[in-house]
């Protein structure tokens, strides 16, 4: 995989629940991480005393985060609504030259900040809230 432009990693929010995805306005930094808990099944019979893990067990999760400039666009309004209503709509994450991850996420944190001589900024944190789908590009 060749080097990619960071601005091409996009977080999109389903605005209407009908698969109408739009990039969250103002984002300048985005991040996605995938996690899988391990289930240790090591016993006295484990070969050489090496730890053994149970394949396919444990909880899988993903987290998203983004930070950017507050624009008060339609996606900002929708994100606020999702947070305050405790919704878990579908999000899409476009990972350049890799694929698209799609599924339900819950917004777990929204932060707004600003300084006297700077722009208003915001940060979002999201946690997966169900099964995710991956489509290769």
- Could you give all domains of the chain from N- to C-terminal order, each with its CATH number? 6-136 (2.30.110)
b/e string for 82-102 if b means 16 or more Cβ within 10 A?
bbeeeebbbbbbbbbeeebbb
- Classify each residue of 23-50 as buried b or exposed e, where b means 16 or more C-beta atoms within 10 Å of its C-beta: ebbbbeebebeeeeeeeeeeeeeeeeee
| Vertex 70 angle, CA 96 and 79, to 5° | 70
Within its chain, how far is the Cα of 73 from the centroid? 20
Residue 1: per-residue pLDDT: 63
Nearest residue to 15 (alpha-carbon basis) of 95, 94, 73 = 73
pLDDT per residue, tens digit, the chain (137 aa), is 678 888 889 999 998 888 889 999 899 999 999 999 999 999 999 999 999 999 998 999 999 999 999 887 888 889 999 999 999 999 999 999 899 999 999 999 999 999 999 999 999 999 999 999 999 98
Contacts of 134 (CB under 8 A, 6+ apart): 99, 100, 101, 102
- The pTM score is 0.86
Tell me the C-alpha distance between 123 and 113, whole Å.
9
């Amino acid at each position: 995989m060749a080097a990619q432009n960071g601005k091409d990693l996009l977080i999109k929010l389903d605005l209407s629940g009908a698969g109408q995805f739009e990039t969250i306005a103002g984002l300048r930094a985005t991040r996605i991480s995938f996690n899988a808990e391990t289930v240790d099944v090591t016993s006295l019979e484990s070969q050489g005393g090496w730890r053994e893990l149970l394949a396919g067990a444990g909880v899988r999760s993903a987290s998203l985060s983004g930070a950017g400039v507050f624009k008060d666009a339609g996606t900002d309004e929708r994100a606020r609504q999702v947070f305050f209503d405790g919704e878990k709509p579908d999000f899409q994450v476009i990972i350049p030259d890799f694929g698209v991850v799609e599924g339900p996420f819950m917004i777990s944190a929204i932060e707004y900040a600003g300084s006297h001589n700077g722009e208003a900024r915001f940060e979002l944190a999201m946690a997966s809230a169900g099964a995710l789908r991956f489509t290769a590009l």
